């Protein structure tokens, strides 16, 4: 069952009344297929299926995509399907299990400064054990990253290959939000402020700490922390009207969440959860804990949420302002119809068009929706309006 929570009251909706799956028509040509959704007829075009476990995507001003591959490669992908050689200058990564080269985002002022930001699993210094999420930036000149510098390193280095979080998104004020994971076996660290496990961080693009971060000057607290009590946040989007950060967060077995992280707030993990451990054992008997914030929306069972966008383009006018959430296990995109912050309805999109784990979702400069799939032969898929 799905659950939609919002202030001042919580609402539980039956799954049968929420879902309307896309219906797929016959393929129109070799790389295209169409589907009818509640509001639009859509066409899926596979641009390429030659990406190795792609993880993140962002668009350059000329319309090319920058795509990370988890083994440690950054590539340009043209909309004609041409994939560049590996871009040089990418930092070394720990490529194991959930670790590797993860998200990519270009600077809001990229046309003036050429900065590209990458998140990745960074190894500990030689002679030490463990790894952590790090963020580096470099200037993209031709097919090279130059002036590369690390602007954030998660503390501490930890011996785990899971739950790196790792989405990057810029606020309207120019802050860089970095979403992090609890590193799985260190879940209790999500409730303490002397580490980055299970946190969302807010910094300036050069790595400086904003003076008005909520824990600046607090004893035993890292000043970069924005919010805490998170499990594994792998989606982040800025609301186009309010400018606030919304995130998607993996629950355990059940309890995937949407949260609206606000300064200094505690989002409960692992003291409160709507899920259980993967073997069915109880992590916490509590779904509500005083002093913690309830999820804005959650799923039981989990759909394995990845990234999310607020759609603002012109290709799909009836989806403008909706939150689109990509899913791994469910191999779909969940469209949440919003009224203000309130979720009014959910529709399942693209299930039969994609049929692979969807690792990232992005809106292109042309207003189309782009998906990348988590596969050894990962795809870049364009979703466009079939009626145009």
Q: What is the DSSP string of 117-162?
A: EEEEEEEPPTT---EEEEEEEEEEETTEEEEEEEEEE-SS-BS-SS
Instruction: Write down the H helix ranges in 9-82.
Output: 15-18
Query: What average pLDDT does the segment 177-197 reach?
Result: 98
DSSP secondary structure, 320-384, as one string: TT-EEEEESTT-SEEEEEEETTEEEEEEEESHHHH-S-EEEEEE-TTS-EEEEE-STTEEEEEEE
Q: Note the pTM of the prediction, 2 decimals.
A: 0.92
User: Is it the case that residue 14 has pLDDT exceeding 50?
Assistant: no
* pLDDT for the residue 326: 98
User: Is it the case that residue 195 has pLDDT exceeding 50?
Assistant: yes
Mean pLDDT of the chain: 92
| Residue 309: HSE in the Cβ half-sphere, 13 Å Cα cutoff | 20
Banded pLDDT at 31 (limits 50, 70, 90): low
| Residue 339: HSE in the Cβ half-sphere, 13 Å Cα cutoff | 5
Banded pLDDT at 9 (limits 50, 70, 90): very low
pLDDT tens per residue, range 83-96? 999 999 999 999 99
User: Is it the case that residue 351 has pLDDT exceeding 80?
Assistant: yes
Query: What average pLDDT does the segment 282-290 reach?
Result: 97
Query: What average pLDDT does the segment 229-239 reach?
Result: 98
User: Is it the case that residue 315 has pLDDT exceeding 70?
Assistant: yes
pLDDT tens per residue, range 205-233? 999 999 999 999 999 999 999 999 999 99
Domains and CATH numbers, the chain: 2-385 (2.120.10.30)
Banded pLDDT at 246 (limits 50, 70, 90): very high
62, with CB counted inside 10 A (0-12, 13-18, 19+), is: exposed
User: Is it the case that residue 3 has pLDDT exceeding 80?
Assistant: no
Q: Which residues are catalytic?
A: 163
């Amino acid at each position: 069952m799905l659950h939609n929570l919002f202030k001042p009251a919580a609402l539980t909706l039956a799954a049968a009344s929420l879902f309307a799956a896309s219906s797929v028509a016959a393929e129109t040509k070799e790389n295209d297929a169409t589907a009818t959704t509640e509001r639009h007829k859509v066409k899926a075009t596979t641009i390429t299926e030659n990406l190795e476990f792609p993880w993140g995507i962002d668009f350059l001003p000329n319309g090319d995509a920058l795509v990370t591959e988890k083994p440690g490669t950054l590539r340009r992908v043209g909309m004609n399907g041409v994939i560049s050689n590996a871009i040089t200058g990418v930092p070394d990564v720990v490529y194991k299990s959930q670790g590797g080269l993860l998200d990519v985002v270009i600077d809001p002022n990229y046309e003036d400064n050429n900065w590209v930001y990458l998140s990745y699993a960074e190894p500990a210094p030689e002679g030490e054990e463990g790894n952590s999420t790090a963020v580096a930036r470099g200037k993209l000149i031709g097919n090279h990253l130059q002036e590369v510098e690390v602007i954030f390193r998660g503390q501490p280095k930890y011996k785990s290959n899971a739950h790196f979080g790792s989405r990057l998104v810029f606020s309207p004020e120019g802050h860089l939000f970095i979403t992090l994971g609890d590193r799985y076996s260190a879940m209790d660290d999500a409730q303490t402020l002397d580490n980055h496990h299970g946190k969302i961080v807010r910094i300036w693009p050069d790595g400086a700490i904003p003076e008005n971060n909520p824990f600046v000057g607090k004893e035993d607290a890292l000043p970069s922390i924005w919010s805490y009590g998170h499990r594994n946040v792998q989606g982040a989007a800025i609301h186009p009207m309010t400018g606030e950060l919304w995130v998607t967060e993996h629950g355990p077995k059940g309890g995937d969440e949407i949260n609206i992280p606000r300064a200094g707030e505690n989002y409960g993990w692992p003291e409160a959860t709507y899920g259980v451990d993967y073997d069915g054992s109880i992590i916490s008997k509590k779904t509500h804990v005083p002093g913690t914030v309830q999820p804005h929306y959650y799923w039981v069972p989990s759909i394995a949420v990845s990234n999310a966008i607020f759609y603002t383009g012109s290709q799909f006018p009836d989806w403008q302002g909706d939150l689109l959430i990509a899913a791994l296990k469910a191999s779909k995109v969940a469209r949440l119809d919003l009224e203000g912050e309130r979720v009014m309805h959910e529709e399942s999109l693209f299930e039969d068009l994609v049929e692979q784990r969807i690792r990232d979702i992005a809106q292109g400069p042309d207003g189309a929706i782009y998906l990348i799939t988590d596969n050894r032969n990962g795809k870049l898929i364009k979703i466009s309006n079939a009626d145009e």
